[in-house]
Structure 1
Amino acid sequence: MFEAAVIRSNLVALRRALHREPEIGLDLPLTQARVLAALDGLPLEITLGRELSSVVAVLRGGRPGPAVLLRADMDALPVQETSGLPYASRIPGAMHACGHDLHTAALVGAARLFHAGTTDNVIPDEAEFAATVRSFSRESRERVREESLRVVRGIAAAHGLEVDAEFREGYPVTVNDPAETAFAVSVARELVGAERCVEMPHAITGSEDFGLLGEHVPSAYLMLGACPPELDPFTAAYNHSPVAAFDDSVLDAAAALLAALAMGRLGFRRT
């Protein structure tokens, strides 16, 4: 934690720079450039994405052994920020309202620690709408697929309409591996204290591409509380809100946790 505290100011500066100039989608040249600059000088093998602005940084050890993957989101949301923060988004219609700027800065910190249109009153000839479906298991998703298509087609038939209904597969359900979760919780409790580690009583219906990793390797998804101290976490604006605010003083703890998880999984004990 001491090493993480030392670099906190750098991580805060990076996070706020990312927050000022958010980018949406898969083309993130400014974000990619800032991440590359922050990683400059570290003994990493850097690979850039061809079809998206990803950054893959590989640190190779001196002997054979297991591998660890740490990943962060970098994209922003199509939200007009109204937070009033001095480092609020300068890009109209784009905001880091989901904390991906924090996520990216924390992972950069871990890398450094690891080496120390609508119109009213119109009835159109045709219309289309989309909905998001969330589920807690692959089995329930399959049932929702069948039932939702049946319901939509039934409603159309009842009103004498024709309908084209399609169920598009999105991200798979994110399910934490029990062993990896227990490991992650033990590391977090040791690092920041048991009183700061809370097990969520219920699953949440977030949509996460992290679920793709869980289909290939045992994985654990942790959430980091970053509510500003002057706000009540139970009433503060949630992720994706145009007035969402995040406390960047948590960055040193976040970076230290990510580094400790990787080192612990590779067999190194924290001293």
Structure 2
Amino acid sequence: MPVLNRIADYAAEMQGWRRHLHQHPELEFQCQQTAAFIADRLREFGVDEIHEGIATSGLVAIIKGQGDGPTIGLRADMDALPIIEATGAPYASTVPGKMHACGHDGHVTMLLGAAKYLCETRRFAGRVALLFQPAEEDGGGGNVMVQEGVMDRFGIAQVFGIHNAPNVPFGHFQTTPGALMASVDTAYVHVTGKGGHGATPHECVDPVVAVVGMVAAIQTIIPRNVYALDEVVISVTQIHAGTASNIIPETAWFCATIRCFSPEVRALLKKRFHEIVAGHATAYGVEARVEYDWGYPATVNHPEQANFAAEVAREVSGDAAVNAASVREMGSEDFSYMLEARPGAYLFLGTGPGAGLHHPAYDFNDEAAPIGASFFARLVERAQPMP
């Protein structure tokens, strides 16, 4: 596999960075120690500028090439998850209840490896903006960075990112033009009736029956309101009600995750969800309040950038190891906000067999880091060749 020779030389060093990060996970926007570690490495490499404190703990570093040219953005997310680690690794998390269960430690390591190479060689025109982002898992740090003006402030013309993919063949890349990952919205429905004794339901207004009716009716949205070829997921993931077998509760609530790819379908799902809840509330004589959290939009690759990224991936991993028309998936990503702000593309990099993302036994495959770093480095050199 043609990993850049210089980056291959960093493999042991990159493993050390990754395992340090794995031992010291941080959540959401509170990634200050992670950012400080990254900034220390970047200073050692000799980046030209470091801008810290973006989106609370994010940072942007600038590497200047040779001659004038545009600025290309490369993004890595930094945050971990509130999960108790079960890997048993000697470098396991030292922070109780927190672990890097999604490989963001690996994403940071790949971008650091590319940064070291680009600082040493500078075989490109214009500039590279390294975007180290907090709060991908919860909080939308990518959106906050965009809202704080990083694209305009640093003149970023296009932007790219990678996510690791366990159980995809090692070293294989997957991407596609257009929608790659779904939007995600979350609905919380709070139902209030009239509680009382389970033996006298005629004296009560039962919120449990109302919730059951709402949940059942919501499942009709996809087969009866959405075109059959539009991919949509509506999953009711929690229902909470009651305290004892002989009490009809006063209140009940449930929540659902709602995912799709089209803005028009997304708006339809929200409309129908509210209509069904309101109609059933009237039918059952309860009050219902909906909190509809409009979450991350769909991650939509720009065709030109997606095709170009696939070309670079083929250079790194070979033709047979790149699927440039992969099946899109229902997971979500806040890199979507950066792709709304600038042309760019997002790819998956296979890390081979192992526990899945967000599993307590998940661990990033360190052997994949030089591949991702080589992809980032060649992306810059191909996108912005020296004059």
TM-score normalised by L of structure 2: 0.63
Aligned CA-pair RMSD: 2.1
- Counterpart in 1 of 2:339? 214
Instruction: Pick one of 68, 89, 93 that aligns with 1:89.
Output: 93
- Counterpart in 1 of 2:364? 246
Q: Aligned equivalents of 1:51 and 1:201: distance in 2?
A: 32
Change (3 A) 1:200 1:121: farther
Q: Give every structure 1 segment of 4 or more consecutive aligned residues whose post-TM-superposition deviation is greater than 4 Å.
A: none
Instruction: Pick one of 53, 64, 78 that aligns with 1:49.
Output: 53
Q: Aligned equivalents of 1:83 and 1:159: distance in 2?
A: 48
Q: Aligned equivalents of 1:175 and 1:248: distance in 2?
A: 28
Instruction: Pick one of 91, 99, 110 that aligns with 2:103.
Output: 99
CA contact (8 A) 2:242 2:249 kept: no
- Asked whether 1:267 is paired with 2:385, we answer yes
Q: Secondary structure at the match of 2:277?
A: helix
- Counterpart in 2 of 1:137? 262
Q: Aligned equivalents of 1:156 and 1:86: distance in 2?
A: 54
Q: Secondary structure at the match of 2:60?
A: strand
Summarize the alignment of residues 191-210 of structure 1 with structure 2, pairs less than 5 Å apart: 191-199=316-324, 201-210=326-335
Change (3 A) 1:119 1:101: farther
Q: Aligned equivalents of 2:55 and 2:312: distance in 1?
A: 35
Structure 1: gaps spanning 5 or more residues: none
TM-score normalised by L of structure 1: 0.89
| Bigger fraction of residues in strand | 2
* Alpha-carbon distance, 1:145 to partner: 1.3
- Count of matched residue pairs: 261
- Counterpart in 1 of 2:37? 34
* Alpha-carbon distance, 1:142 to partner: 1.0
Change (3 A) 1:77 1:155: farther
Q: Aligned equivalents of 1:120 and 1:97: distance in 2?
A: 34
* Alpha-carbon distance, 1:159 to partner: 3.0
- Counterpart in 2 of 1:121? 243
CA contact (8 A) 1:149 1:166 kept: no
Please give the per-residue CA displacement for 1:21-71, whole angstroms capped at 9, x wherever unaligned: 111110112111111121123132101125411011012345332110001
- Asked whether 1:5 is paired with 2:8, we answer yes
- Asked whether 1:256 is paired with 2:259, we answer no
* Alpha-carbon distance, 1:195 to partner: 2.2
Instruction: Pick one of 180, 184, 199 that aligns with 2:309.
Output: 184
- Asked whether 1:68 is paired with 2:186, we answer no
Change (3 A) 1:268 1:154: farther
- Asked whether 1:155 is paired with 2:307, we answer no
Q: Secondary structure at the match of 1:130?
A: strand
Amino acid of the residue matched to residue 312 of structure 2? V
Amino acid of the residue matched to residue 121 of structure 1? T
Q: Aligned equivalents of 2:281 and 2:85: distance in 1?
A: 38
Please tell me whether Structure 1 or Structure 2 has the larger radius of gyration of its CA atoms. 2
Q: Secondary structure at the match of 2:71?
A: coil
Q: Secondary structure at the match of 2:51?
A: strand
Q: Secondary structure at the match of 1:57?
A: strand
Q: Aligned equivalents of 1:74 and 1:222: distance in 2?
A: 17
* Alpha-carbon distance, 1:128 to partner: 4.0
- Counterpart in 1 of 2:195? none
Q: Aligned equivalents of 2:58 and 2:19: distance in 1?
A: 20
Q: Aligned equivalents of 1:197 and 1:155: distance in 2?
A: 49
Instruction: Pick one of 315, 324, 348 that aligns with 1:223.
Output: 348
What is the percent sequence identity of the aligned residues? Answer: 38
CA contact (8 A) 1:73 1:103 kept: yes
* Alpha-carbon distance, 1:168 to partner: 2.3
